Structure 1
């Protein structure tokens, strides 16, 4: 007799009050666990750390979780510059790191960011606004999170248990739980999270329904949309789910609207590989160089110059092929081969361009020593592939930032400065 397949057990029949009770109980348990695990040294460290967590009422205050190298954060900061100072200053900020910092600092305050990936933290610190706290601890060890206006960061895709009725009951979902814990501590007006496409169909949509329930119990109205980066000035086909939550007490004032496609329309063509990386050298040094697995060679990995890129993965070994030279050739059902002499993976800088990072954004190798060059390069590929494409983040956050600028009544003095700069 065939073994009976276990099914995901949903608890969507629970009332909203029951969901809130379960959530609050779980959050209290996690907070108590974090406090119990604190040593006197770690407690003193956290107290010192949070002395620098300063909410600035004259700026938009951001809390960033699972921040990585900062693709979502950078896109948000560039979007704020564009919303507040206009397109000219935005373009100058994209081209020049010093101009970016000058203008982003006028309206944004990154109160707190958290990630425990060393190389990504180094990249974040040397490129983005770094006046607030950068916490490199495991999120489970953080006992509380500071106040913010906007919370950023996508929690890793949750798992689910065939035996347990709720996402919160599955121990694999500790990152999801702590994301909600941070949200309930920080109480931002809006939060924006990114996740993989598969979240929408996991357990036939039941997981996403429960995520909506949990965020509702935490005090937020959630909308979800699948977006493809290629429709937002990104030279790459990359589908991701965005989850935007608006705090219940401002819902009458603000309803978030997802951005409409701006490229791939009759008005504007897609941004191609030629547009993005056509000016870069044909033989760069920052290329992951190794043999190709049978899995890699099981399908086409080379787009042409007039197309958009395949999705950029978080691995140098899995990087797509450079579009120059001859196309790959299919010789059997699951086997492709290279042709000609110009066959290599995309370089670190090419992948960064395709993810729409500006050229001034430099990626750390984690300060690793005594390791092979491929391993140092892979630290950079990993950060780039894990990031939200910067220009996609700019478009997704634009509607929110426009609202926050008006809601928080950013100083009129800066508006005067904007008019002077734009003549």
Structure 2
């Protein structure tokens, strides 16, 4: 997350919705012009060839995925499609059984058309786990001149910066990815979009950053609502708070009276019991090969890193070095402020597969370590830890997006427009 906490954010509440739209579309035009003047004829030829070969299905929910990473959000959306068509029980059985998953996928209501990310190892993972009909790009979004049409756009754009320099977030050059996400949205014109981001987005600039993001998405033609949720409330064995920004195209709101509401929590007090680390990983071997093994920094040892078996994990981060401790063995001991130490003879980081389980990825979902040769084991493993930590927990994604998939599945007339 890129931002400067030492600089005061200046709100733009005095700007009218009309002025916001004018500023937004002026900026989008500028960015489109920059793209057109910077891409080469070879790039254009490649892009045209890609568009010729895109696989659309007019009878399915066509999906475009930006900043897709390894595909945690995408997999959750696909399973949400299963839930919409076959019911939750059958859909969730596909997470445990690859044969069931493959069978449901053959007649899935979703169709992933196009996916883009710059992370090589994540792209290899995506290709290995998603249908071959998906056009998978590894291209800087700043150099993409056009985006495919879709019914649903996915993509957690990087957390924006902010400063006192300009009246809008779009004026801050650090927000180029945010600008290009909106640019893609305006071109693709999906009925819905879903973006996930860090909890800190809620409080940046005392809430004004998120307010302006909402205004800008609204100006591009959407009713937008942010929702802060904790993964463990939806059956994920992890304390992970994230913001989902949901957009519904305004004509859909008007015609169908559709207002997105996040699903009620399924786990917690007076509900299903929280899923614990014991539930999630106790059947896995205690001494696996896929563990990042190195010394611990003073920052790592500045707080507790070990949860017990009957708790939920700390947030899984995009780094093997920062992976939480496995719950087996004795708890860490608090020595003094910002200093903890290990006890006993069993202390190690969570493995790649354990982190994937905690992020609710299926065991059959395989993570690539990239294609680099003569690379140290820790570096190869870190490529996988990074993908897992950056992902949206699969089950959380399924729960949050299911209302949208149910609506689109029930309204086939939208898909044929």
- TM-score class, shorter-chain normalisation, is over 0.9
2:360 equivalent in structure 1: 356
1:15 maps to 16
1:42 aligns with 2:46: no
1:42-65 Cα offsets, whole Å, 9 max, x none, are 111111111122332100110111
What residue number does 1:83 align with? 84
Partner of 1:145: 147
Structure 2 equivalent of residue 415 of structure 1: none
Give the structure-1-normalised TM-score: 0.94
Query: What is the alpha-carbon distance in structure 1 between the residues aligned to residue 218 and residue 174 of structure 2?
Result: 21
Contact 2:355/2:385, CA 8 A, preserved across alignment:
yes
Counterpart in 1 of 2:383?
A: 379
Query: How many residues are paired up?
Result: 407
The equivalent of 1:114 in structure 2 is 116
Tell whether the 8 Å contact from 2:7 to 2:163 is kept in structure 1 after alignment: no
Query: Do residues 210 (structure 1) and 212 (structure 2) align?
Result: yes
Question: Which residue is 1:243 aligned to?
Answer: 245
Alignment of 1:192-211 (within 5 A): 192-211=194-213
CA contact (8 A) 1:220 1:247 kept: yes
CA distance in 1, matches of 2:81, 2:124: 23
Task: Give CA-to-partner distance per residue, 1:150-173, whole Å, 9 cap, x none.
Answer: 111111111112111111111100
Match of 1:414? none
Aligned mates of 1:299, 1:208 — CA distance in 2? 30
- State whether structure 2 residue 340 is matched by structure 1 residue 336: yes
Q: Distance in 2 between matches of 1:111 and 1:154?
A: 18
- Cα deviation 1:362-390 (Å, max 9, x = unaligned): 00001221110000000000000000000
How much does 1:264 deviate?
1.2
Inter-CA distance 45–98: structure 2 relative to 1 (3 Å threshold)? farther
User: The residue matched to 1:151 in structure 2 has which SS?
Assistant: strand
Counterpart of 1:171 in structure 2 is 173
Which residue does the alignment assign to 2:3? none
Matches within 5 A, 1:12-411: 12-106=13-107, 107-252=109-254, 253=256, 254-408=258-412
Change (3 A) 1:326 1:193: same
Matched-pair contact (CA < 8 Å) for 1:80–1:104: no
CA distance in 2, matches of 1:220, 1:304: 43
Please state whether the residue corresponding to 1:30 is helix, strand or coil.
helix
Q: Is the contact between residue 113 and residue 133 of structure 1 (CA under 8 Å) also seen in structure 2?
A: yes
RMSD: 1.4
Q: Report the Cα offset of residue 315 of structure 1.
A: 0.2
Deviations 1:49-108 (A, max 9, x none): 111223321001101110000000000101110110123431332123343244234221
Deviation for aligned residue 1:26: 1.0
Identify the range of structure 1 (5-14 vs 357-366) with the bigger mean alpha-carbon deviation. Answer: 5-14
**Greater displacement, 232-241 / 256-265:** 256-265
C-alpha spacing 1:7/1:330, structure 2 compared with 1 (3 Å):
closer
> Is the partner of 1:251 in helix, strand or coil?
helix
Structure 1 residue runs of 5 or longer lacking an equivalent are 412-423
* SS in structure 2 at match of 1:109: strand
Checking the alignment, whether the CA contact within 8 Å between 2:55 and 2:133 is kept in structure 1 is: no
1:420 aligns with: none
Measured after TM superposition, the shift of residue 6 of structure 1 is 5.0
Q: CA deviation at 1:298?
A: 0.9
CA distance in 2, matches of 1:130, 1:300: 43
User: Is the CA contact (8 Å cut-off) linking 2:84 and 2:405 kept in structure 1?
Assistant: yes
TM-score by length of 2: 0.95
Instruction: Say if 2:71 and 2:391, in contact at 8 Å, map to a contact too.
Output: yes
Alpha-carbon offset, residue 329 of structure 1: 0.8
Cα-to-partner distance string for 1:20-43 (whole Å, 9 max, x where unaligned):
111111111111111111212111
CA distance in 2, matches of 1:69, 1:216: 29
Residue 419 of structure 1 corresponds to none
> How far, CA to CA, are the matches of 2:229 and 2:119 in structure 1?
27
CA distance in 2, matches of 1:347, 1:341: 17
